[in-house]
A and B are shown apart, each in its own frame.
Chain A
C-alpha cells in the first residue's frame, strides 16, 4: 500500500469530505441500531425529526449548539497551531466560575455593560487557566495534552467544592448550586418561547471574528505557519513560543465564553452539570469543520442536532441515548480518513 499526495486538492472534495464522513458514521452506527432491534431508516428519521421537526425542537437544537460553537472554535484555533488543548471542558467551567464570582452581586452595572463585562471576565478566566499548561509546554517541554486533560478533573473538583461549600446558594433547598446571576447580567432571550438566548449572537460573532483574524491578520498567519511547520516559521522570524501562548489564550478564552453563556444565558446559575462534555464534543466539532472557524457553525449545529435528536429517538424506539456519543466518536475517526483522502490517494500494489 502506498500513500501519495494529490497534486491539487479540489475545493469540492474538501467541502464534501466531512459530509461523507458523517454519512459513513451513520452507516457504521446503524449496526448498533440493528442490534437494538429498531428499523434503521425510521430511527434516523426520528432522530432528525426530534432535532429539527418542530419549532421547539429547532430552537432547542440551536440553543444546545451555542456552547459547542465556542468550544469548537477553541479547539479549531488551538489545533491549527498544533497546540492540543483538550482542556476546553475545564476552561468552560473556569469561565462559568468567573461569571458566577462577578455576576452574583459583586459587581453591578447596567445590563448593556454587565453582559459584556461577564463575557470578558469569563474569557480571561478561561485563558488564564491555560497559562499553566502552555508555559509548561513552551518552557519545560511538558506535553500539553495530558496537563490540559488532568486540569479538567482538578477544575471540576474545585467547582464541586465551591458550590457545595462557600458559594452554595442557601436558597437552593440544599441543591449544590451557586447563587443566581443578577438580572442585569442575564443574557436576554431571543424569542418569547423556548430557551434560545443572546449567547447565540456572541457565538456567531466569535466565529466571524476568529475567521477574520485567521484569514486577514498577521496573528492568524503566524498561527497557521507555526502549525504547518514550526521550524520553517522560526526561520521566517516568527516567534513560536509567543505565538503558541497567544493561541492558547484565545482558545481558552473562547472555551471560557461557553461557560459564561451557559451560566448567564441558559441556566442562570452555576451547577456541576452545566456541561455534559461540551469541551470534548468541541473537538469533534472542530474536526468536522476541518478547523475552519466559519464551518464550526454548521458543525456545531449538526452535532447539537444529533444530541437533541438522540433523546427523542431513544424515547420513541428503545435505543440507549449513548448512541449520540458513539456517533460523535465515530464521526471524528471517519472525518480523519475522509479529509486525508482529499489530500492523498492510496495506491494498492
Chain B
C-alpha cells in the first residue's frame, strides 16, 4: 500500500510538473502564426514608412560582377488615425535607379496588394513613358539579380502553410509549404527566425528532392531608430554558385512620406528631396 501510494504520489507529482512546465513553455513560446506575423512585420513593415539607399552586387556564375544602385521609398497603407503596430497589409514602394547607366533615372512604382496582383509601373525617362508592367509572375528576377520581386516586396504569408519545424537556441525554424505548388519553383522553404528580434536570418529553398538550391542570408543587422534592420543581405543560387549582395545605407524610418509620392506625378518627376 505504502509503496503504491508513494509511487502514485511521485507519478502524480511528475505529471503535474511536466504539465506545468509544458504550460509554461507554451505561454512563453509564440504560436506559429505569431512568429510568421512578427517576422513579416519586422522584414517589411517597421515604421509607418521608410527609405534606404541600396547597393546591389550581382555575381554571376562565371565570376562576372554587375552593380546596381537605387533608392527605395516605402509607405504602409495603415490607417493613420488609429495606427496598428502590427499592420502587415497593403504597401506602396517607389524605386529610383541611379546606376548603371542604362537604368539611370528610371523609376519603378509598386502598389502591393494582399488579395490580387500588385500594380506595377515603370517610368522610362528617355521616352517620358509610363509603362504598366504585368505582375502575375512574382518569382522572376528583380533587375537581373538573384532576388525575386517577391523577396523584395514580401511574399504573401497566406500563400503558404507554416509549421514550426524546430526551435533552436537562437531560432524558430519554420517550414513553409506553398498552398499552390504549381505557382512556385520550390517544394518548400525553411526560415530561421531570430527569437528575440524576429529577424529572418536565413531562408533556404528546397526542391522536391529535399535538396536546398537557393539561400537567403541576412549578413548584417543594425538597430536603427529602435528597429532591428537588415543592412546587408545575400541571395545565393546554390546550383550555379551565383549570388547577389544587397547593402542598405541611409536607412530611415517614419520619414513622413506623403501618399502622392507613390503616383504618376512622381514617376515623371522624381521626388529628389527624398532620394538624396
**B is a partner of A:** no
Q: Residues of A with Cβ closer than 8 Å to B? A: none
Q: Residues of B with Cβ closer than 8 Å to A? A: none
